[in-house]
Structure 1
Amino acid sequence: MYAFFETYFPNAMAIPQEFVKATIETIYMTFWTAIISGFLGIFFGVLLVVTRPGGILEQKAIFVVLDQIVNIVRSIPFIILLSLLVGFTRLIVGTSIGATAALVPLIAGVIPFFARQIEIALLEVDPGVVEAAEAMGTSPFGIIFRVYLKEGLAGIIRVSALTIINVIGLTAMAGAVGAGGLGSLAVTRGYNRFQTDVTIVAMLIILVLVFISQAVSNLLIRKITH
């Protein structure tokens, strides 16, 4: 097996430590983006649901403004968002290069995407259950936590897995412009130096991370729904 990799992946076999470092950077970016965007995305997603026309805390002005912001930011290609936020990133982090600096545009780009996914997941909750909770005198916050978030938990986990997979892909794109991680390794060593085997190995590691994320989400969904 070792001889096989030495023959077909010679450049990748020569830099194992770089692959370890790049993988850790990718996991670092994915983890913190998922955590921060997760909390904020759920908050704004819930806000979209409860303030919409007919919602339990209907506020048309808030809904329209938030809905348009989500639509606009989601429409900006991530590679352009990276460029737009360079100055803001440097102001917050002190640099626009590296894995930590990449967190700023990653979080900014993922929050509206995840908020919309949360909105869709919560809107699938049976309206009859919400109406029953209101009839019983449950407060709006009680409905949010005991009905929307509880009844929509499987959907939330499902869209969370989708978002994490999307984040992994975005980290690779961020890596192409100096964020580090597997994307950077695939471009700087694989593409720029014509070391195709490095690109292939980086891609395979990214696929493994995606499969693990999907497997974990499927396991959680099965535990919740049974």
Structure 2
Amino acid sequence: MSLDAIMTLLPDLNKAFIETIYMVGISLSISLVVGLPIGILLFVTDRDLFLESRVVKEGLGFFVNIVRSIPYIILLVALLPLTQLITGTTIGPTAASVSLSVAAIPFFARIVETSLREVDKGVIEASIAVGASPWMIIKDVLLPEAKPGIVQGVTITTISLIGYSAMAGIVGGGGVGDLAIRFGYYRYDNTIMITTVIVLICLVQIIQFAGDKLARVVDKR
């Protein structure tokens, strides 16, 4: 891999990297806003908990399991009509963010539910005993106690989205994956393929390091 080849690739690589960050940023934000409440509901509506509801639990669980059971590349293609409706196009990073968000929401919701299950039930029972409202239990007990697990969940979701965003390049979603497919795979250019892989590896390593460090900071247990 020559220096000249890397310098020639640099403008396209910078553009693709920014598109990847853009896609992941949008879809991660949406997955946090929507997935966090779903994850909380999946937990608090379970049996023997303070908002027990079989209908809500099974309904949300069914939706989450359906979306999670669909391979992302199939989900990406299946959501093209919805993507067209929302963004007015089916190509580009904004369009790819639609399918990325749909894939990430149930994924993050299950991580939140799992993190909440690690909270000591004795703490929850004590809060109920002193008359705390459901909202107070969620806000002042569950979320603070589960914060390290949720932070780790955000890290895992972000890394998963980076992988999904690379697959979005197959349908012209933009980003590093699109660059690797169009200029690396289709043109048999190993320089581009190797460079994009290195970029993605470095990005994942940085995110994992930052996520682990933040999880340790917020862990007050």
TM-score, with length taken from structure 1: 0.94
Separation (CA, whole Å) in 1 of partners of 2:88 and 2:26? 18
2:91 counterpart of 1:97:
yes
1:173 to 154, 159, 167: 167
Percent identical pairs in the alignment equals 44
Match of 1:183 in 2: 177
Cα root mean square deviation, aligned: 1.1
Match of 2:67 in 1: 73
The residue that corresponds to 1:60 in the other structure is 54
**Contact kept? 2:45, 2:57, Cα under 8 Å:** yes
Equivalent-residue separation in structure 1 for 2:160 and 2:98 (angstroms): 16
| 1:138 is the counterpart of 2:110 | no
Q: Distance in 2 between matches of 1:55 and 1:90?
A: 41
1:215 has 2:209 as partner: yes
Ranges in structure 1 where 5+ consecutive residues have no aligned partner:
none
- Report the count of equivalent residues: 220
Match of 2:105 among 93, 107, 111: 111
Q: Which residue does the alignment assign to 1:203?
A: 197
SS in 1 for 2:25: helix
1:28-67 matches, within 5 Å, as 28-67=22-61
Q: Secondary structure at the match of 1:176?
A: helix
Q: Could you tell me how far 1:197 is from its partner in structure 2? A: 1.2
User: Deviations for 1:104-141, whole angstroms, at most 9, x for unmatched residues?
Assistant: 11001110111011100111100010001111111000
Residue 21 of structure 1 is matched in structure 2 by 15
- Rounded to whole Å, the distance in 2 between the matches of 1:20 and 1:71 is 36
Q: Where do residues 155-170 of structure 1 align in structure 2 (5 Å cutoff)?
A: 155-170=149-164
- Contact kept in structure 2, 1:11 and 1:195, CA below 8 Å: no
How far 1:220 sits from its partner (Å)? 0.8
Q: Secondary structure at the match of 1:14?
A: helix
Once the two structures are superposed, what CA deviation does each residue of 1:128-177 show, in whole Å capped at 9, x if it has no partner?
10001111111000000111101000010011111110000000001121
What amino acid is the match of 1:31? G
| CA offsets 1:52-98 (integer angstroms, 9 cap, x no match) | 11121111101101101111110000000011111111011000000
Query: Which amino acid counterpart does residue 172 of structure 1 have in structure 2?
Result: A
CA distance in structure 2 between the partners assigned to 1:224 and 1:82 by the alignment: 35
Q: Structure 2: which 5+ residue stretches go unaligned?
A: none
Select the residue among 169, 190, 194 that pairs with 2:188: 194
Task: Confirm whether residue 120 of structure 1 aligns to residue 127 of structure 2.
Answer: no
- Scaled by the length of structure 2, what TM-score is found? 0.97
